[in-house]
Structure 1
Amino acid sequence: MIHATGFITKLMTVRFLICALFIFCVFCVKLYGVVENRNAISGRVSCETHPDKLSIYGSVQVGYAKNSIDSPTREIQHLENSDQTWHVLRSDNGSHILLFSAYRIFVGSKLRLVIVGIEKCPTADHSRQCEFRGEIRVAKGPHERALTAVILHRRLLPEHHMKDYKPVVYGAEIAASFHTQDITVRFVNGPDVSHSVTLRIEGVPKDNVYTFVMCLGPLRSTNDQYPGRIVEWVEFNRLMGVDHIFVYLTNASSELREVLRYYKNKGLVTVLNWTLPVESDIHNFGQMASLHDCLYRNMGASEFLVNVDLDEFIVPRGGYRNWRDWIENVLPAAEYQIGSSVFSSRSDKDTTGYSSNISRVYITVSLIHTYRRLHVYTNCERTKYIVRPECAHILGIHCVHEFAQCSAGRSVVSADPGKILVHHYRGYSTDTARGVRVQDKTMLRFANKLVKCIENAWEKIQTNPRQHFTLPINELWTNYERIMNEL
């Protein structure tokens, strides 16, 4: 009986140990899953205060998905309509990294990998160039991988206005023999290794397939993005020789989407989803980041890149018919910097000088406002520019900040305002020193062609403004004044 009791006691002890071991294993598995899930969502990011550099480590969630608005196949894969999505890395100390796109580009004779994003790192010295340490794995076969270590250098873009979130570009030099499309990226912090992600690197055409491309955005659903403004702006720029426009869209009304869909179907517009995960604390919805994304996706694809806003029109003067006509009559340059003048968009309506009255139906701002300030902005003050993409290293809103090595060097042509001028249509005060007005009817040279193009476009767009503007003319102008006063 004693032996039986001892045997039972030992058996119970073994069962207890087995159960305890099982419970411990289950606990470990669940804990590991929680940690893995936390890392997958927030990434491992650390901001280290250092006098010379900031090291950022984390899993890089970068994608290149196709757009739900813009998905038709195009002849040039690099210029397909696409939907970049922001991928967020967060840390417990309040640091965020948001990545948008990645490209493989040539800078001179050197091949580089570049990643466009924005970041928030409050403890960092944002005035310094920093390092983003990582590894790139290149897939050679179904199960074979070759490891290549790289350092991605972090470059803070200018004109961030000291907002919490700032635009950045990460870059690394890679071998000229690096031709793979798919790579796996991971980031290392000492013994810690982040999750790996697969990244599709978009190549860049070697030969220019376009002459002029434009970068527009970020666009938001406000009154000045009324669909008629888009049609007027696109049709004028087509007359000037623009081949393609990249629109960075944060949100839009159904009418605006119909307009963009029409131009997308014609192969004139690529719409990119620029819905930022952060609603504020970044200057102008991350315009500097979108501008550099536009630059990289057009290196090798276009001879010239043009940066203007929706309320700006680069208008040739002095008999020039379009932008190419003007450029061919000035010295070759890396950048053509064009002065601007403000046209009042709140008053001084004038429809004389051309026969068609349809501009009153479609509210063509550029044709019914002919009074501007006498003052012309120059020397990077509210100027806009036309640049050769391969010559640009760091762009700005009003001029190029840094040039890359190219055949045109770092030459800049400052345009003669009598030959070409940016018409900036916005409200202005006449009681300032710069408020002296002059009448300028240069735009009316293009009125008949422009009005015809606008009318043809609206005949094909499903959302026709005649459905929305069928009021008597007096009520129409009252409604127009209300819209313009809200700008």
Structure 2
Amino acid sequence: MCGGRAPDDTITPLKDRRSFIISAYEDNRNKNIIRILGIVHHKEVKELYCYFCCHSNVEVHTTKAEIDLHQDRFGFPYGLADIICTEPPDCGATFVSVHSSPSEIVHNLTSFPIRNREPVQFTANFTICISTMHGNYSNVLQFIQTIEMYKILGAQKVMVYLNNCSRQMEEVLQYYTKEGTVEVIPWHIQRYLKMSNSWLYPNDDTEIGYYGQMSTLNDCIYRNMYSSKFVVLNDQDEIILPFKHRTWDNMMESLQRENPDVGIFLFENHIFPQTAVSDGNFTNTSSWNGVPGFNLLQFIHREPDRPDHFNARKMIVDPRAVVQTSVHSTLKQYRNSKYVPLETALVYHCRGPLQAKLSRAALIEDKTIWRYNDSLIQNVNQMLTKFTEEPSLNP
């Protein structure tokens, strides 16, 4: 029998401490390969080998991997790579191991399950990928409202790659996990690499940018490749809000009908600053007062777009059309991309201002979120009632 030990974390360092394996996926869209997502040093990792346990784990086959480093590394020494191996014919491996040498004893290695082996039926129309929750995240009310908005708009599943958050936030994540809405993937990248809070390399001793966000987004796409019709790539303070339609289902049906060759839809990001507070005088929200965080229904003013600045668009993709993604666009794909016009939808991004000097009069009133106020208030109240029967939300 061959085979090594099971991974004990989402990220597994190899012996060279220059390569870190996340997960392995079968990918037969172009040719039949095993695509292993890993974080590698862009200069120092030259060779990697895949070890397959073939024919019901009785025989070891070793093949040399192709290392395809994703182009969006933003100057950091470490970046995400696709470690691509061809499985021997009729091997039937269920696990794969990776090492920098072709002559290692396989028992000493970690064996990664090969995901996406078996075809599955869709269990979700829309799955949200929240790349990394970090910084002791504690914006509990806004997060609950955002999850409930995702459900109203048509999402069945939310993937959260969790670095750290407040205790109350952890309880909320546990509640939604039990409900079946949220799946939490532990993401403790700082155990292995020096983290930067910046997305761009600041020329210091940090090794990887912004909590390894690239790695989580790509892993999320592959995890949901065959189980979700669409994957939504955005942050926990963002909601893609349709103007013309009430739900994502209707919006995507229309967009796909008009653009049959498109698999990647990019939506304009618009800032709704948390400094511009409005009171909608909504009744029946008194139970929200004890919940820490911002109330989305109070933010209905957006900053005007700045045409000379990069717009950090977010995406709804057909995951089967994506090979590699960055944060604001895909890098390699099988189908075309399309910028969705503002009259169709926008990314409602509720955060601190980017144009702090603007007066209230210079902001654009946009009450789109209020179209959902009845169902949102009802859903949040129901959630809080059930939630407070379990743990306490009070600090």
User: Under a length normalisation based on structure 1, what TM-score does the superposition of the two structures give?
Assistant: 0.68
Q: 1:171 to 1:63 in 2, by over 3 A?
A: farther
Give 1 or 2 for the bigger CA radius of gyration: 1
CA contact (8 A) 1:335 1:388 kept: yes
Asked if 1:422 corresponds to 2:328, the answer is: no
Q: Does 1:136 align with 2:46?
A: no
The Cα of 1:449 is off from its aligned counterpart by 0.8
Alpha-carbon displacement from aligned partner over 1:360-399 (angstroms, at most 9, x marks no partner):
6245532101111121779973000100011001101011
- In terms of fraction of residues, the more helix-rich structure is 1
| Residue number in structure 2 paired with 1:17 | none
1:41-120 equivalent positions in 2, closer than 5 A: 63-65=6-8, 84-89=9-14, 91=16, 96-108=18-30, 110-120=31-41
User: Post-superposition shift, 1:247?
Assistant: 0.8
2:135 is aligned with 1:214: no
Counterpart check, 1:297 vs 2:228? no
Q: Distance in 2 between matches of 1:290 and 1:245?
A: 13
Q: Distance in 1 between matches of 2:230 and 2:89?
A: 25
The CA distance in 2 between the partners of 1:156 and 1:423, in whole Å, is: 32
Alpha-carbon spacing, 1:61–1:291, altered in 2? closer, same or farther (3 Å): farther
Cα pair distance change 1:99/1:353, threshold 3 Å: same
Q: 1:427 to 1:257 in 2, by over 3 A?
A: closer
Query: Does the alignment pair 1:411 with 2:336?
Result: yes
**1:283 aligned residue:** 209
Q: Confirm or deny that 1:166 pairs with 2:79.
A: yes
The whole-number CA distance in structure 2 between the counterparts of 1:229 and 1:366 is: 6
**Counterpart position of 1:387:** 317
Measure the CA separation in 2 of the matches of 1:154 and 1:212.
31
In structure 1, distance between residues paired with 2:167 and 2:4: 30
Contact 1:154–1:171 under 8 Å retained in 2 = yes
Residue type of the partner of 1:335?
A: I
Counterpart residue identity of residue 194, structure 1: E
2:270 paired residue number = 341
1:373-384 to structure 2, matched below 5 A, reads 373-375=303-305, 381-384=311-314
Give the letter for the 1:291 counterpart: L
Report if aligned partners of 2:273, 2:350 keep a CA contact under 8 Å in 1.
yes
Which of 96, 100, 104 is the equivalent residue of 1:194? 104
- Does structure 2 retain, via aligned residues, the 8 Å contact 1:359–1:367? no
Change (3 A) 1:306 1:90: same
**By how many angstroms is 1:254 displaced?**
2.3
Alpha-carbon distance in structure 2 between the residues aligned to 1:378 and 1:386? 24
Paired position in structure 1 for 2:201: none
Task: State the alpha-carbon separation in 1 of the partners of residues 69 and 268 from structure 2.
Answer: 27
Task: Determine helix, strand or coil for the equivalent of 1:132.
Answer: coil
| Of 309, 317, 320, the match for 2:243 | 317
Task: Indicate conservation of the 8 Å contact 1:343/1:423, yes or no.
Answer: yes
**AA in 2 matched with 1:151:** K
TM-aligned CA deviation for residue 141 of structure 1: 5.1
Distance in 2 of aligned mates of 1:135 and 1:401 = 25
**Equivalent AA in structure 2 for residue 325 of structure 1:** N
Match of 1:43? none
CA contact (8 A) 1:430 1:436 kept: no
Instruction: Report deviation, 1:424.
Output: 1.1
Higher relative contact order (CA 8 A, sep 6+): 2
**Which AA in structure 1 matches 2:34?**
L
Q: Which AA in structure 2 matches 1:88?
A: P
Q: Does 1:400 align with 2:310?
A: no
CA contact (8 A) 2:301 2:366 kept: yes
SS at match of 2:328: coil
In the alignment, is the contact (CA less than 8 A) between 1:342 and 1:423 conserved in 2? yes
Percent identity at matched positions?
A: 21
The number of residues matched between the two structures is 366
Q: 1:379 to 1:372 in 2, by over 3 A?
A: closer
The 1:337–1:99 alpha-carbon spacing in structure 2 relative to 1, beyond 3 Å, is same
Q: 1:287 offset after TM fit, Å?
A: 0.5
Specify the SS of the correspondent of 2:14: strand
Q: TM-score, normalised by structure 2?
A: 0.83
Residue-by-residue CA offset, 1:147-199 (whole Å, 9 max, x unaligned): 4342211121233221232222211233674533134555536xxx2342233
Q: AA paired with 1:98? A: F
8 Å CA contact retained: 1:258, 1:463? yes
Compute the RMSD of aligned alpha carbons: 2.9
Gaps of 5+ in 1: 1-59, 66-83, 125-129, 405-409, 469-487
CA separation of 1:251/1:175 partners in 2, compared to 1, >3 Å: closer, same or farther? same
1:352 aligns with 2:262: no
Task: Note the 1:447-462 alignment, pairs <5 A.
Answer: 447-461=373-387, 462=390
**Unpaired stretches in structure 2, ≥5 consecutive residues:** 196-205
Partners in 2 of 1:176 and 1:356 — Cα distance?
Answer: 63
Q: For residue 207 of structure 1, what is the amino acid of its counterpart? A: Q
Deviation at 1:253, TM superposition (A): 2.6
Residues 454/272 of structure 1: CA separation in 2 closer, same or farther (3 Å cut): same
Q: Residues 283-308 of structure 1, C-alpha deviation per residue, up to 9 Å, x if partnerless?
A: 11000001111111111111111101
- Which position in structure 2 is the counterpart of 1:259? 172
Structure 1 position 431, deviation (Å) = 3.4
Deviation string, structure 1 residues 447-476 (Cα, Å, up to 9, x no partner)? 1211111111111223444x35xxxxxxxx
